A and B are shown apart, each in its own frame.
Chain A
Amino acid sequence: MTANASAVRGFAALVMDEVQRARADKAPLRIVGGGTWLDAGRPVRSDRALELRSLVPPAVVHYEPGDLTLTVSSTMTLAEIDRLVRAEGQWLALDPAGSASGTIGATVATASAGPLASAFGTPREQVLGVEVVTGRGEVIRAGGRVVKNVAGFDLTRLMTGAWGTLGAITEVSVRLRALPAADRTVAVSASAADAVRWLNASEFTPYAAELLSPTLARGLGVGDGATLLLRIGGNGSLVRAALESLSSLGEVRSVDGDAWSRLAAREQPTSAVFRLGTRPSRLAAVWERVTTMLERVGGEAHGTARRGVVRCSIPLDGTEDEEFARLRGIIGALRVDASLVAERLPASLWASLVPAAAADTLSRGIRAAFDPDHIMNPGIFGELA
Chain B
Amino acid sequence: MIELAELLRAVVGEKRVLLRAGELRSYESDGLPGYQKRPSLAVLPGTRDEVIAVVRLLAERRVAFVARGAGTGLSGGALADDVVLLGLHRLKGILSIDAEDARAVVEPGVVNSSLGRAASAFGLHYAPDPSSQAACTIGGNVAENAGGPHCLKYGVTLNHVLGITALLPSGEVVQLGNPDGETDGYDLLGAFIGSEGCFGVALDITVKLTKDPQSVRTLLADFSSVDAAAHAVSAVIAAGIVPAAMEMMDAATVQVVEASIYAAGYPTDAAAILLIELDGAAAGLDEDAERVVSLCRAAGARGVHSATDPAERARLWQGRKKAFGAMGRISPALVVQDAVVPRTRLPEVLAEIHRIAERHDVHICNVFHAGDGNLHPNIGYDPTDAAESARVHEAMSEVMHACIAAGGTITGEHGVGLDKMPYMDALFTADTLNAMCELRAVFDPDHRANPGKVVPVHACREWHAAPSAWTRP
Contact = CB atoms under 8 A, between A and B. Distances in A.
Given A148-B340, A362-B188, A366-B186, A281 B100 contact: yes
Given A121-B159, A152-B433, A178 B237 contact: yes
Given A178-B240, A369-B438, A150 B186 contact: no
Interface stretch (A26-34, A216-224, A237-245, A314-322): A237-245
Which of A121, A235, A236, A275 has most chain B Cβ within 10 Å?
A: A235
Contacts of B342: 64, 67, 69, 145-146
Contacts of A181: 240
A153 B455 contact: yes
Interface residues of A, number: 78
Contact of A179 (B240, B283, B288, B431): B240
Contacts of A198: none
A151 B240 contact: no
A69 B102 CA distance: 30
B370 to A, nearest CB: 12
Interface stretch (B193-201, B294-302, B329-337, B377-385): B193-201
A332 interface: no
A98 interface: no
Contacts of B440: 153
Contacts of A23: none
A154 B435 contact: no
Nearest to A368: B442
Contacts of B439: 153, 155, 158, 366, 369
B432 A140 contact: yes
Which of B159, B178, B287, B432 has most chain A Cβ within 10 Å?
A: B432
A341 B182 contact: yes
A162 B373 CA distance: 29
A338 interface: yes
Interface in A133-172: 134, 138-142, 144-155, 157-158, 160-162, 166
Contact of B178 (A144, A161, A238, A277): A277
Contacts of A357: 184-185
Contact of A150 (B145, B190, B428, B442): B145
Interface of B: 98, 100-102, 144-145, 147, 151, 155-156, 158-159, 172, 174, 178-188, 190-191, 193-195, 198-199, 213-214, 234, 237-242, 280-284, 286-288, 291, 340-344, 369, 372-374, 407-416, 420, 424, 427-429, 431-436, 438-443, 454-455
Interface of A: 62, 64-69, 89, 111, 121, 124-125, 134, 138-142, 144-155, 157-158, 160-162, 166, 177-181, 203-205, 234-242, 275-281, 308-309, 338-341, 357-363, 365-366, 369-370, 381
28 contacts: A62-B407, A66-B238, A67-B342, A67-B373, A68-B343, A141-B429, A144-B427, A148-B373, A148-B412, A149-B412, A151-B411, A151-B427, A152-B428, A152-B436, A153-B199, A154-B158, A178-B237, A235-B288, A235-B291, A278-B180, A279-B180, A280-B101, A281-B98, A308-B181, A309-B182, A362-B188, A363-B186, A370-B438
Given A147-B372, A161-B185, A180-B240, 18 more contacts: A64-B342, A68-B237, A139-B431, A144-B407, A150-B415, A151-B424, A151-B428, A152-B416, A154-B195, A158-B439, A160-B190, A276-B181, A277-B183, A278-B180, A339-B178, A339-B182, A358-B184, A358-B186
